[in-house]
Structure 1
Amino acid sequence: MALIPILSFLIVVLLSFLVIRIGSSLLSLTGLDEDTSRFQAISAFTGVGFTTTESETITKNTARRKIVILLMLAGNVGIVTMVSTLLLSFIHLSEADEKISYAMGMVIGLALLIVLMRSARINDFVIGFIARILRKWVESETMNYHKIMKLERGYAINEFVVLPDNWLANKSLAQSRVSDEGIIVLGIYRPDGTYFGAPSGEVFINGNDKIILYGKESVCLNLARRQQGTAGDQVHQILAAQTGASKE
Structure 2
Amino acid sequence: MLFLFIYLVIILAVIKIFVILFRLTGLKVEVSRFQVISMMTGTGFTTGESELILGHPVRRKLAIFLILFGAFSLAVIISSISEFLSKGLREKEIFIGTGAVIAVFLVLKIESVRLGLAKVFHRELKQKIELADLPMRDVFLKNKEDFLLHLSIYEDSTLVHRTINEAVKEHDELALVFLFIQRGDIRIRKHLYDTRLHEGDQLLIYGVKDVVLTILHEDISIMKKNQKNRELPSNHFL
Q: TM-score, normalised by structure 1?
A: 0.39
The TM-score normalised by the length of structure 2 is 0.41
Which has the larger Rg? Answer: 2
